[in-house]
Chains A and B, each alone.
Chain A
Amino acid sequence: MRTLEQTTQEVLDLAAKHFQLPAGSLAPADDFFKKLGIDSLQTLEMLSRIENHFGIELPDYEVQGVSDFRTLAERIQSRL
């Protein structure tokens, strides 16, 4: 079972890879809309990649209003 810290790190790594950013360039508190300059649709695309990695399904309502990696990791952790 992963810890929240491990989950958060994996989310950051996946997001960096998805948006072709250098590893370590993202932080848990980063607002992904602002930091990555992405829209809600691009966020959904990123989520699909994250779901595949963790082998979970995150319903759309679970990520409604979430805009930072730490909160996203918490939502994922609750479903692991």
Chain B
Amino acid sequence: MLDLSKYQSIGQALKDALDQFADEVCLIEADREREKERLTYRDFKECAHPLARALQDAGFTAGDRASIIMTNQSKWLISAYAIFFAGGTLVPLDYKLTPDEQWQLLKHSGASVLITEYPIWRQLSASVGRVAAANVRTVLVTEAPANAELSGALRWEDFHGAGEPRFVSRVRKDTACIVYSSGTGGRPKGCMMTHENYLEQCVALTSIYPFWPGVRYLSILPTNHAIDFMVGFFGPFTCGAAVVHLRTLRPEYVREAFPKYKITYVSLVPLVLKNLQKGLQARFDALPPAKRKIFNALVAINKALTKSKSRPGISRRLLKQVHEAFGGELRAIIVGGAFTEPQTLQFFYDLGIPVANGYGLTEAGTAITVNDLKPFRADTVGKPLPGMEVRIMNPAADGVGEVSVRSKTVMSGYLSDPELTAETIVDAWLMTGDLGRFDETGHLLLSGRKKNMVVTEEGKNIYPEDVEAVFETLPVKEFCVFAANYIWPKRSMTGERLVLVIHLDPGQQYGEELRQDISARNNRLLNYKRIHGVVVLDEDFPRTASLKIKRNVLAERLASLEGASAILPL
């Protein structure tokens, strides 16, 4: 691994990595059963440099912003490297957002360049939101069919400059990426992540879960997500490891990829991990009684032998068939984006497959705590990573309070929002909005959320304000969306739901017609953003002088209602 303490920027570190590991494979891209591409670090450089040069020829310079909206693939990483090489700031956006949401964030980010793939561009270019984001002057589109109408975009494959590009230096405190943690509904939260944030996070994470040449990381989480950017790009690249991309995430092809590419690490969201558990459990349950008995005995032996620490060699021999299904080289499944239930973690650990469970948020530079497997604990989110100061603010008698973090990995602030930045980073401490406590061994136990938001099992952060637009013309006096767990706190990190609170007009009833109207509007939202119930409140909402709803006061009022009976199912 490169000694990252010597580096000032992501671009500088990656540049050296491409030379140091020139002959190692860095990228494999597969589409269903076909392998589309296999690049060494030398090949990668040969693809990226002409792109960096063309960007520079087009006037792209230090501090300019370029956005990538793409599914996981080689061109994502090649484009990102070219942007860093040219001194730019990367704005990775979620390809699953709607075109209007993407334009909104493109406008907010001030990106002058957009790199995207043809099917996404087809939708983006047809969206009315495009008019507002005049800052996007250059659009590069990958894999466009030969006769495709590109609506002013240029072909990524033809965007080559002649001659070597000029490496543009950046310093540690410069912004490397603007990562949107949420805020498509009006108040975008663009986390300004510095080069130092990434360099420090990489050192901390790889000290526990190392990469080296020969390691293969299966990249499934979207690369715009902080986790995949770190463990599916920067981390492996600075260690000479390889990243495997799949162009389709159908479960059968994901399953095939493990043995085919001898995967070492993979990152998953809890939903996928649980699904994997369900599939395995069904296979175990289908074993004939005698085989099942032997299998259970082997699992019991493995449990006893790995109680104090993980022993991959022993587990692979004991539970050979299970491990062979995962390719036989899997060292850990990294799980993130949302809270994972302990029984799921334990299920995999008992099979000899450690799940690197942790806790983090984009604002903190991905991970804050991680399970170091010494010993494995399914009931906690692990201990703070090296370099992380974590403390519990204003703890109650049981030790539970708001988790706060101080570290070189914490973002410099939210783009164009000093007010929100000041609320979130107080005296250099990042207030996470999550509630937790430390146990006597230094493990962090999370126990709920203080902030008005939900995190889905797919790792999506949903802020109530982001979904309110769809209810705007609802025929009621007033309405507001809340996270139910914010109003009626529960000591749990799962099963969080949004609720719509309505105040009816005088004489109006909550009848079938209104319920259907709410339901129809709700269905226009992406499935994970939908509300799950309605609360009818028969009083005016408290408002500020400028008539904004005082959400915290309203939440206190709602808290006096009995949550379970107040929420009417849709």
A residues lining the B interface (CB < 8 Å): 31, 33-34, 39-42, 44-45, 47-48, 57, 59-62, 64-65, 67
Contact A45/B247 with A34-B523, A40-B458 known, Cβ cut-off 8 Å: no
Give the CA-CA distance A35 to B447 in the complex, in Å: 32
User: Is B119 on the interface with A (CB-CB < 8 A)?
Assistant: yes
- Which B residues are in CB contact (< 8 Å) with A33? 527
Q: Contact check: which of A34, A47, A61, A65 meets B98 at CB < 8 Å?
A: A65
Bound: A41/B254 CA distance, A: 12
B96 contact from A47, A59, A64, Cβ within 8 A? A64
Q: Are A44 and B96 in contact (CB under 8 A)?
A: no
A61–B252 touching, CB < 8 Å:
no
Q: How far is the CB of B277 from chain A (nearest CB, A)?
A: 12
Residue of A44, A48, A59, A65 near B526 (CB, 8 A) is A65
Residue B272 CB within 8 A of the other chain: yes
User: Does B275 count as interface, using CB distance less than 8 angstroms?
Assistant: yes
Question: Is the CB–CB distance between A60 and B248 below 8 Å?
Answer: yes
- Chain B residues at the A interface, C-beta cutoff of 8 Å: 32, 71, 95-96, 98, 117, 119-120, 247-252, 271-272, 275, 457-458, 523, 526-528
Q: B252 and A62: CB pair below 8 A?
A: no
* Of listed A31, A33, A41, residue having the most chain B CB within 10 A: A41
Q: Can you name 21 A-B residue pairings with CB atoms under 8 Å?
A: A39-B271, A40-B271, A40-B527, A41-B271, A41-B275, A42-B275, A44-B251, A45-B250, A45-B251, A48-B252, A59-B119, A59-B248, A60-B247, A60-B248, A61-B119, A61-B120, A62-B119, A65-B96, A65-B98, A65-B526, A67-B523
Known: A40-B458, A65-B526. A47 touches B120 (CB 8 A): no
Cα–Cα, bound, A77→B427 (Å):
58
Partner of A60, one of B71, B523, B526: B71
Known: A39-B271, A41-B272. A60 touches B249 (CB 8 A): yes
A contacts with B: majority SS? helix
Contact partners of A31 in chain B: CB under 8 A: 523, 527
B430 to chain A, nearest CB (A): 30
- Which residues of chain B come closer than 8 Å to A57, judged between CB atoms? 32
Taking the nearest CB of chain B, how far is it from the CB of A65, in angstroms?
A: 7
A34 to B523, CA, bound (A): 9
Closest-by-CB residue of A relative to B528 is A40
The 8 closest A-B pairs by CB, nearest first: A33-B527, A61-B119, A44-B250, A41-B275, A48-B250, A60-B248, A31-B523, A45-B251
Of chain B, the residue at the smallest CB distance from A43 is B527
> Residue among A45, A60, A62 with the most chain B CB within 10 A?
A60
State the CA gap A59–B120 with chains docked (Å).
12
Evaluate contact between A47 and B527: CB separation under 8 angstroms: no
Note all chain A residues with C-beta closer than 8 A to B526.
Answer: 65
Contact status B271-A67, CB under 8 Å: no
CB of B218 to closest CB in A, whole Å: 16
Q: Taking the nearest CB of chain B, how far is it from the CB of A47, in angstroms?
A: 7
Return chain A residues, CB-CB under 8 Å to B95. 61, 64
Residues of B within 8 A of A65 (CB): 96, 98, 526
The docked-state distance in angstroms from the alpha carbon of A40 to that of B117 is 22
Cα–Cα distance between A34 and B458 once the two chains are bound (Å): 17
Q: Looking at the complex, which one of A40, A59, A62 makes contact with B247 (CB distance below 8 Å)?
A: A59
Q: A41-B275, A44-B251 are in contact. Are A61 and B523 (CB under 8 A)?
A: no
In the assembled complex, the CB of A29 is this many whole angstroms from the nearest CB of chain B, namely 10
A57-B32, A61-B95, A61-B119 given. 16 additional CB < 8 A pairs? A34-B523, A39-B275, A39-B457, A39-B458, A41-B251, A44-B250, A45-B251, A60-B71, A60-B248, A61-B120, A64-B95, A64-B96, A65-B96, A65-B98, A67-B523, A67-B527
User: Can you name the residue of chain A whose Cβ is closest to the Cβ of B120?
Assistant: A61
Closest CB of chain A to B32's CB: distance in Å?
Answer: 7
> Within the complex, what minimum Cβ distance (angstroms) separates B126 from chain A?
14
Would B250 and A47 count as touching, CB distance under 8 A? yes
List, in ascending order, chain B residues with CB within 8 A of A48's CB. 250-252
Nearest Cβ in chain B — how far from A53, in angstroms?
A: 15
Q: Which residue of A lies closest to B119 (CB)?
A: A61
User: Whole-angstrom distance from the CB of A72 to the nearest CB of chain B?
Assistant: 14
Within 8 Å CB of A59, what residues of B?
119, 247-248
List residues of chain B with CB within 8 A of the CB of A67: 523, 527
**CA distance in complex: A12, B514 (Å):** 29
Q: How far is the CA of A60 from the CA of B248 in the complex (A)?
A: 6
A48 to B32, CA, bound (A): 11
B71 and A61 form a contact (CB under 8 A)? yes
